Amino acid sequence: MTVQTAVSAKEIEDAFLTLQPIVKQTPLERDHYLSLKYDCNVYLKREDLQWVRSFKLRGAYNAIEALTDNEKAKGITCASAGNHAQGVAFTAKKLNLNAVIFMPVTTPLQKINQVKFFGGDNVEIILVGDTFDDCLKEALEYTDEHKMNFIDPFDNVNTIAGQGTIAAEILDQAEEENLDIDYLYAAIGGGGLISGVGTYFKSESPSTKIVGVEPLGAASMFTSVVLEKQRVKLPEIDKFVDGASVAQVGRITYDIAQQVVDDYLQIDEGAVCSTILDMYSKQAIIAEPAGALSVAALEAHKDEIKGKTVVCIISGGNNDINRMKEIEERSLLYEKMKHYFIFNFPQRPGALKEFVNDVLGPNDDITKFEYLKKSSQNTGTVIIGIQLKNHNDLPRLKEKVQEFDPSNIYINDNKMLYSLLI
C-alpha cells in the first residue's frame, strides 16, 4: 500500500470545514509589549486558549473523524506527552469512542489529569516509558495486539491537515486586519504543526517566511533536514520542553518540512524558561515550554524582523504550576544570575562573616548554604548558591571565590554535579 506523504491546501480547507463546529477559533492578537521590544508588529495566535489549551485538538479530531464507522467501533489508541492525548480524549468523549492513551511516565501530572477530565469514562490511560519514543513503541504494540486504530500525533496526513487549519484561520484573520504576514514562527516537535501550517502558507501566502523552532536539546528536525540530510533519531534528548521533545520526527513530516520550512532555530531551554516568565509577568499569558518556543525565537531574529509583521503560534498553555520553581531556576542559570560553588570553608569563628564581607558584592544574595562542621578538621566542605543582581558581576565573584579557596569547584559547568547536589 502506498502511503500518502503530502498534504494539500484543499485537504486543509476540507479539514477547516470539518472542524469549524468543533474547535474554537482562537484570537490573532497584536502584542504591544513584543512589538515595542522588537520594533515590529508581533501577532500571537493564541492556541493556548483552545478548548484543550493546545492546537492538538485540531489534528486529533480530524484524524479520528476520518476513520470509517467500522474502524471507530474497534476503538482508538495514541501515544502522547500530553496535548495530543487531551485532543484524543476530548474527541473520544465527543464521538463516544473507546480510547486507550499511552503517556510517558515523565508527563506532568497536570496534563494527565486534564486527559482524565476531557475523556471521562471513554478513556483508559497507561503511563509507560521515560520518553515519547519509548511510550510510542508500547502504544504501537498494544494497538496491533488489540486490532485498534492508532491516531498518530504528527505522522498522519489527516492529523497534519487538522493542524494546518490554524494557518487557514490566521490568513482569514489577517485579511480582516489587512495584514501581510512576513514571518510565521511555529514550534517543531514531531513536525505535524509546521507541516500543516507551512503547507497552507506556501500555497496561499508564499511570501511569508516559515520558521521552525525547536528546543536546543531535542532539535531532531534540524538535525535530520539540515545537518544529516536524512531522517535520524537523536541518541539523547533534553525532555524539559516536553511538548516538543521528540527524538525522531515523522516520515511524512520530514518530507513536508523539507519543502515548506525556510529556516530553523534551536532555542536553549533556559531561554524558553525566561520567555515563559516574561510572558506571564508582562502579558499575563501562561504558556507551556513548547508554547513559548515561537516567542523565544524572536530574540535570535531581532535584527531581521525590524519593521516586519510577525506571527507567533502560542501552541499550548498546559503548564503545571508545580514546574514553576524549576522554570525560574533554569531561567536564572541561563541569564547567568545564579551560581553554585563547592569550596573548603575554615572551621573557625568569624569565617562566614569574612566570606560575606570579602567575597560577596553589595547586591549579591546567598540562596543556598550547606555546611557540615567536623570537629577533627580545620576546614569543612560548603555548597553555596549565590544570586547576582547583574550578570556582569560574575567575573568579580569568581575572582573573589578563587582568592578565598583556589581549589573551589564551579558547579554550573558540571551537569552531573549540579543534578546530584542542587
Query: Which residues lie closer than 8 Å to 294 by C-beta, 6 or more apart?
Result: 185, 186, 187, 213, 312, 313, 314, 315
Domain CATH for 354: 3.30.70.260
- 286 and 390 belong to one structural domain: no
- 180 and 321 belong to one structural domain: yes
- 183 and 42 belong to one structural domain: yes
pLDDT at position 376: 64
Q: In this structure, is residue 1 part of a structural domain?
A: no
- 366 and 401 belong to one structural domain: yes
Give the chain's domain count.
3
pLDDT at position 1: 43
Residue pointed to by grid coordinates 497536570: 110
- 218 and 285 belong to one structural domain: yes
Domain CATH for 252: 3.40.50.1100
- 263 and 171 belong to one structural domain: yes
- 178 and 145 belong to one structural domain: no
Task: Categorize the per-residue pLDDT at 322 as very low, low, confident or very high, splitting at 50, 70 and 90.
Answer: confident
- What are 55's three cell numbers? 492546537
List the single range of 107-116, 170-179, 190-199, 404-413 with lowest mean pLDDT.
Answer: 107-116
User: Which of 329, 351, 380 lies at the terminal end of a domain, its last residue?
Assistant: 329
Residue 269 has pLDDT above 50, yes or no: yes
Write the pLDDT tens digit of every residue in 212-221: 999 999 999 9
- What are 330's three cell numbers? 533554569
Average pLDDT over residues 309-324: 93
Q: In this structure, is residue 75 part of a structural domain?
A: yes
User: Which of 313, 329, 345 lies at the terminal end of a domain, its last residue?
Assistant: 329
Share of the chain above pLDDT 70, in %: 98
Domain of residue 197 covers 9-55+161-329
Q: In this structure, is residue 3 part of a structural domain?
A: no
Residue 346 has pLDDT above 50, yes or no: yes
Q: CA-CA distance, 89 to 60, in Å (whole number)?
A: 9
Residue 207 has pLDDT above 90, yes or no: yes
Arithmetic mean of pLDDT over the chain: 94
pLDDT at position 193: 98
Q: CA-CA distance, 204 to 8, in Å (whole number)?
A: 11
pLDDT at position 197: 98
Q: CA-CA distance, 293 to 215, in Å (whole number)?
A: 7
Average pLDDT over residues 267-276: 98
Q: In this structure, is residue 47 part of a structural domain?
A: yes
Residue 167 has pLDDT above 80, yes or no: yes
Q: In which element (H, E) is residue 320 found?
A: none
Query: Which residues lie closer than 8 Å to 271 by C-beta, 6 or more apart?
Result: 296, 299, 334
pLDDT at position 373: 66
Task: Categorize the per-residue pLDDT at 130 as very low, low, confident or very high, splitting at 50, 70 and 90.
Answer: confident
Q: What is the per-residue burial (b if ≥16 Cβ within 10 Å, else e) of 32-63?
A: eebeeebebbbbbbbbbbbebbbbbbbbbbbb
Q: In this structure, is residue 155 part of a structural domain?
A: no
pLDDT at position 84: 94
Give the E-state strand segments of 135-290 in sequence order: 149-150, 183-187, 209-215, 263-267
Q: In this structure, is residue 2 part of a structural domain?
A: no
- 89 and 229 belong to one structural domain: no
Residue 365 has pLDDT above 90, yes or no: yes
Q: Do residues 338 and 329 make contact, with C-beta atoms less than 8 angstroms apart?
A: yes
pLDDT at position 377: 73
Q: In this structure, is residue 305 part of a structural domain?
A: yes
Write the pLDDT tens digit of every residue in 11-30: 999 999 999 999 999 999 99
Average pLDDT over residues 292-315: 98
DSSP 338-396: EEEEEEEEE-STTHHHHHHHHTS-TT-EEEEEEE---TT-SEEEEEEEEE-SSGGGHHH
- 122 and 194 belong to one structural domain: no
Angstrom CA distances, 410 to 180, 329, 407, stand at 49, 17, 10
DSSP 85-134: HHHHHHHHHHHT--EEEEE-TTS-HHHHHHHHHHHGGGEEEEE--SSHHH
- What are 73's three cell numbers? 467501533
Rounded to 10 deg, the angle between the 83-95 and 56-65 helix axes is 40
Which of the pair, 261 or 104, is modelled with greater confidence?
261
Residue 3 has pLDDT above 60, yes or no: no
User: Which of 301, 329, 357 lies at the terminal end of a domain, its last residue?
Assistant: 329
- 64 and 48 belong to one structural domain: no
Angstrom CA distances, 107 to 127, 132, 182, 228, 321, stand at 8, 9, 35, 30, 14
Write the pLDDT tens digit of every residue in 59-109: 999 999 999 999 999 999 999 878 999 999 999 999 999 999 999 898 878
**Type of residue at 280:** Y
- 235 and 188 belong to one structural domain: yes
Write the pLDDT tens digit of every residue in 140-154: 999 999 999 999 999
- 203 and 285 belong to one structural domain: yes
CB atoms inside a 10 Å sphere around CB 326: 12
Residue 342 has pLDDT above 60, yes or no: yes
